[in-house]
Chain A
Amino acid sequence: MTLKRASDDIDRSEPAKKPTPDTTLHTALPATPLTTASANMDSDDEFNSSQVSDDEFMADQDSDVSIEDDSDFDIDQDDVGFESQDKDIKPTKQTYEVDFIVYSPDQIQGHQDKQVDEVSNILGQPPESTAILLRHERWNKERLIDHYMEKQEETLESAGLGETSTTNPPRLEHVKGFVCDICCEDGPDLDTFAMRCGHRFCVDCYKQYLYTKIKDEGEAARIRCPGDGCNRIVDHKSLDLLVSSDLQARYHELLMRTYVDDKENLRWCPAPNCVYAIQCGVRDKDLIRTVPTVRCDCSHFFCFGCSLNDHQPAPCALVRKWLKKCEDDSETANWISANTKECPKCHSTIEKNGGCNHMTCRKCRNEFCWMCMGVWSEHGTSWYNCNRFEEKSGHDARDAQARSRQSLERYLHYYNRFANHEQSAKLDKDIYLKTEKKMTQLQNTTGMSWIEVQFLDAASQALQQCRQTLKWTYAFAYYLARNNLTEIFEENQKDLEMAVENLSEMFEKPIDLLQGLKVEMMDKTSYCNKRRVILLNDTADNLQKGNWEFNVTL
């Protein structure tokens, strides 16, 4: 319905002007098959989020549609605006949820067209040039209007729209004595092209260059002149002259992508083949206070802040740190420090593989005691038996050793649980694939109807979602400094975990038992979902208020 509205808007404003010949403004994206979006997802995390459909959480999300309907459909409308509006419509919004709107390609095109029209009226430039100017200023309307009013010529010039571009449209030329710097071909019959920067190349090379930029590198709005160090942007008039029509389609598609990329409150859904974009008012600076998980119409859950898969309750900054920590070799280093000792003098790493406590460092020849790490000479004659527990030198060295051991154990505690939930989610996914079979079997053997076996589907979805949340609670907990709040958090975590494991266990029961467990399973499913909401609300609430203390800086 909103789609219609978008085009209505355009239609209403259209009659005022002559129909524009420009294709950028009114070409919709080439139809991309929407249906493939969920069908093509195969990675595990995507699987997680694509499964959820009609539990109560979804019902909440669906009400977003009504916001969309009521809103003025103005993309520039600030988040403040629709947030307050939203409170009236949706009083049940959970703390951990954020407001967002999903837009289809047509709607995005509509937004662009509307803005172009608006600015076009203000500047008195034809829409086609206005579009270039807007793209040039990265869709910052105010900045463009400012610049334009201040230095009109300069602004036009830098966007590749200087005076001569209207009187002197781009064209191909034959130039005497020309040698193309790219292919080194020459000849009086060679078609050549140059923009106003004067860097002239043969048409074949220019075409090849543009083809590579558009097709291989996915550039559009900011393709530069092939000349060395030249910053001139290839404007779309020149481009239309040079490239084939199918490439032009791709070019315009990419141009539209830059619109979403340039807008801070818009983001593409990262799911494979998904064509939707999400609008959300959460800014980068808000990301330490909130975790903006959004759900695309293709059913993919992702974080608006970083585009990764849903990682509530952990904020983006912690997620980045955690993933980096798990990925890089910092834990190997930790292992080393837990299992080896350093020479107290030259700090070479030493692993003791036998022998007595009298160590002689191979590198610096320092003699020390393996037990207390103190200097060997202080041991007097009590060889092979260290009883000198009070030496300061040894005390410090032992302290450092113990700290690193403890830190490793702490990390492993959280990592094992994080990894376990990831692994279990995968196993649950396998079970889910069997569930469908089970559901059909149940229908056949017990005569239950389709709707009556849906509880299995709901249970499976709850499992996936809760495990996703649990997984990230461990990364979150790893960075939490201990205080009273963490006690509550850990209680919540424990409750959810127990509920999930119970449900998971039930899920594995043989088919003939499942029917009898139906009520209990539905109970457990809804309990899991509730515990998850409670946990997320608690963490989100405290995050918003800045109550959490982390042992790292975000």
Chain B
Amino acid sequence: MAFASRRLGKELTKMHDKLPPGIALVKADDFKEWLMDIRVIDTNPLYDNETYRLKFSFTGSYPIEAPEVTFQLSTAADTPRPIPWHPHIYSNGIICLDLLDRQGWSPVHNVESICVSLQSMLTSNTKKERPPGDENFVKYNTQRPRDINFVFHDNQV
């Protein structure tokens, strides 16, 4: 864990200092799980006036290993956090993005850069859709996101 905590400590210091627009740190009490909020900055009718919550789970081998990142639903009246519409985001918050998979991950990425990537993934999307087979996947999937073998075929969105 020492490896991960040292790096996360540094990331935290940097994030307390400055964060890109639309990204906010919600909770980082330990080096296991962090919560971040992101908003889409450019106008996009799909995401206007909404904020989304991301849950980061780190293993001891972070950043060599990718963290597990999912959108988290919150229905609290004062801080509603829906799951954004996107053809690569399942309605249970699981994200299909090569960056978060073993193949596409590079230890150079960090929490901030993931947030930025997800922001831009939403910004460029125009489809109010869920991935094909969403209903079945959400109902039957018992695997953790990191153990799912996603096939990344779609470079359009």
- Give the interface of A toward B (CB within 8 A): 181-184, 205, 208-209, 212, 216-217, 226-230, 329
Contact = CB atoms under 8 A, between A and B. Distances in A.
Contacts of B65: 212, 216
A389 B145 CA distance: 54
Interface string B48-88: 00000000000001011100000000000000000000000
A256 B157 CA distance: 39
Contacts, number: 39
A226 B7 contact: no
Contact of B10 (A184, A216, A217, A329): A184
Interface string B91-134: 00000000000100011110000000000000000000000000
Nearest to A211: B64
B6 A228 contact: no
Q: How large is the interface on B (under 10, 10 to 19, 20 to 34, 35 or more residues)?
A: 10 to 19
Majority SS of interface residues in chain B? loop
B102 A217 contact: yes
A229 B117 CA distance: 14
Contact of B108 (A208, A228, A329): A228
B42 interface: no
B61 A212 contact: yes
Contacts of B3: 183, 208
Interface in B1-30: 3, 6-7, 10-11
Closest 4 CB pairs of A and B: A228-B106, A184-B10, A182-B107, A181-B108
Contact of B107 (A205, A216, A217): A205
Given A182-B63, A205-B107, A212-B64, 16 more contacts: A181-B107, A181-B108, A183-B3, A183-B6, A183-B10, A205-B64, A208-B64, A209-B64, A212-B61, A216-B65, A226-B107, A227-B106, A227-B108, A228-B106, A230-B106, A329-B140
A229 B104 CA distance: 7
A46 B7 CA distance: 45
B149 to A, nearest CB: 14
B108 A226 contact: yes
B108 A182 contact: yes
A182 B109 CA distance: 8
Contacts of B106: 226-230
Nearest to B8: A184
A182 B7 contact: yes
B127 to A, nearest CB: 26
A208 B10 CA distance: 18
Nearest to B10: A184
A270 B28 CA distance: 44
Given A182-B63, A217-B102, A209 B7 contact: no
A181 B102 CA distance: 18
A525 to B, nearest CB: 44
A181 B106 CA distance: 10
B10 to A, nearest CB: 4
Nearest to B61: A212
Contacts of B108: 181-182, 226-228
Contacts of A329: 140
Nearest to A225: B106
A181 B108 CA distance: 5
